[in-house]
Chains A and B, each alone.
Chain A
Amino acid sequence: MKPAQVGRVHPSARLPKAAETMLWYIVLCLVALVTIFPFVWVLFTSIKGPKDVIYSVPPQLIPHDPTLANYLRVWNQLPVANFFVNSIIVAVVSVILNLFFTSLAAYPFAKMNFRGRDAIFYLLLATFIVPPQLTYIPSFVLAVNVFHYYDTLLALIFPSLATVFNIFLLRQAFKTVPNDLIDAGRMDGASELRIWWSILLPIVRPSLATVAIITFVTQWNDFFWPSLMLHTRERMTLQVGLVALQGMFSSDTRGMAAGVVMTIIPILIVFVTLQRQFVRGLTGAVKG
């Protein structure tokens, strides 16, 4: 008899396949609602016109009177274009120079034998545990008294020229390069610099992309240190500028929402285009 058999089937098999798939999509959508609802709400709020209320019971989500006026208001009252340019300068220059310095340093750690190698390496690793905020007091003093780059973009670029984490990551990548390749280069009379540039770097290109992404996102989203350094409006990055906006537009929810959207859009575009490298970069680094 057919009905009697149903009881013997494994419980998970009782649900028809289609219904189970449906259920998973519902769960996935509910979680997505939790993670992106604030962004959707901010986006809708940022295009609300004067006739749309911000606070009402029940809440009004979708604007009936959409407008871009909020964006214009923010754009006109704050040097938003400067914020963008400054953020891009800081992130791009940091990425290029950080890649250069850390990949140079990673080569001897991975492939050369020299006095003090392990001592230096473990000293660097030990600094990794120290919260970066601890170093901000002396770094502040250095910025004001020694380097005189307080309130300039240099103050954000200089400390990020070399980072221990990136050196560690690239060292792991260089270690996977076969020694025979390097030896062959040496036989041909190539200098170490030449070997580094034409043999090692091309092989570890995916790891270089990882380092680039980590550095870019960290610099783009950094707030604590930039907020200590930048005070002139025109010299602010997006994150610092957005907090300045919060002070100016404290009673203008629409304007603040527009500011938030303008800050998130660039990094979101980068994320969507480089999604695969992004996730591998920020998460895959874990395995290093």
Chain B
Amino acid sequence: MIQLGPRQKWREPSWPKPPMTRKFSLTPYLFLAPALLVISVFVLYPMLAVVYYSFTDYSIVTPPVWVGLKNFQTLLHDDVFWLALRNSFIYLLVTPTLIFLCIILAIIVNRKLPGINAFRALYYIPVISGSVAVGISWRLMLETNGLLNSALISMGILKEPVQWLAEPAYSLPIAMLLTTWMGLGYYMMVFLAGLQNISEELYDAAVIDGCNAWQKHFHVSLPGLRPQITFVAVISSLAALEVFNEVYILFGQLGGVLNSAVTMVFYLWRQAFNLHHAGMASAAAMVLLVLTLAFSVMNIRALERGTEEES
């Protein structure tokens, strides 16, 4: 390493000088002030407050009372909390499913056919429709006297109607299927943008080397999509850990029969806003925070490793 002596201080920086005055000026802070004020009040302060609340007995109505680690001890002995944690981990299976399906979808729509844009738009509609409207539509179809049962019975697959929404074993898979379905169009477009960045020559070279249509995607598309795969892995796993709407709309305030679809955020919501245990909810929030941080660090590590190999 080059020694950094005191001389370094008055040496002109070697990078091009940005167009700005060197003397202290209030201007940049004034530009920042409104946004920073909003973010401090609605993001930074709440993050600190939730850490404090997690060590208190707090019902929102009465002032918080310091109780140390009691909330965390209560959490450890709450079976529903462990179920929520387990369900949130299972929910992460949505991520590999989406990566797999959306790469295939992107390959399918990445061709010049008349009307291809219309198809892409049709695949995008579930993304923009909002989880409430989409969730209610699914709920209507899945009801015991709903479309799914009548279709399956008339095809001879089922003999009796199944209570899809009341059967604990089906709750979580149905919610995960809904999340996957709502994400298809979005992640497809991410991968499509990635595919369109891959040079045509690479595919030609692969064909000359004797690759067939599928092999060429395996050897050219997949490596070329690495940045997008990392991005989708990060974004969709964070989204999976934050799932709430799907569970609430499909299964209501109970989170499914026997808590079968309760996820971490649903547990947090119920503790805070249904049972008024804001302290407990904040403790659960801490656990969720640690989880998401761990996942982000893991994903960023993977991203760094990926770019190192490329260069």
Binding site for B on A (CB under 8 A): 10-12, 21, 24-25, 27-28, 31-32, 34-36, 38-39, 41-42, 45, 54-59, 101-102, 104-105, 107-109, 111-115, 117, 120, 123-124, 127, 129-142, 144, 158-159, 161-164, 167, 179-180, 182-183, 186, 192, 196, 217, 220-221, 223-224, 228, 239, 242-243, 246, 253, 256-257, 259-260, 263-264, 267-268, 271-272, 275, 278-279, 282-284, 286-287
Contact = CB atoms under 8 A, between A and B. Distances in A.
B137 A39 contact: yes
Contacts of A130: 43, 47, 289, 292
B129 A268 contact: yes
A137 B268 CA distance: 9
B32 A282 contact: no
A27 B108 contact: yes
18 contacts: A27-B108, A32-B122, A102-B35, A108-B28, A112-B27, A114-B28, A115-B24, A132-B242, A134-B285, A135-B50, A141-B60, A161-B34, A180-B19, A253-B143, A260-B137, A268-B128, A271-B128, A283-B186
Interface stretch (B2-10, B150-158, B303-311): B150-158
B98 interface: no
B31 A105 contact: yes
B77 to A, nearest CB: 22
Given A135-B43, A267-B128, A59 B147 contact: yes
Contacts of B31: 104-105, 107-108, 112, 192, 196
A118 B255 CA distance: 43
Contacts of A21: 113
B138 interface: yes
B119 A28 contact: yes
A223 B131 contact: yes
B179 interface: no
A112 B154 contact: no
Contacts of B41: 142
A285 B192 CA distance: 14
Contacts of B50: 134-135, 137-138
Contact of A131 (B123, B228, B242): B242
Contacts of B193: 283-284, 286-287
A137 B145 contact: no
B102 to A, nearest CB: 11
Contact of B185 (A35, A264, A272): A35
Given A179-B18, A186-B19, A263-B130, A31 B108 contact: yes
Given A114-B25, A223-B130, 18 more contacts: A58-B151, A105-B32, A123-B44, A127-B44, A131-B288, A132-B242, A133-B265, A133-B269, A135-B42, A138-B45, A141-B278, A142-B41, A221-B128, A221-B129, A221-B131, A256-B136, A279-B124, A283-B186
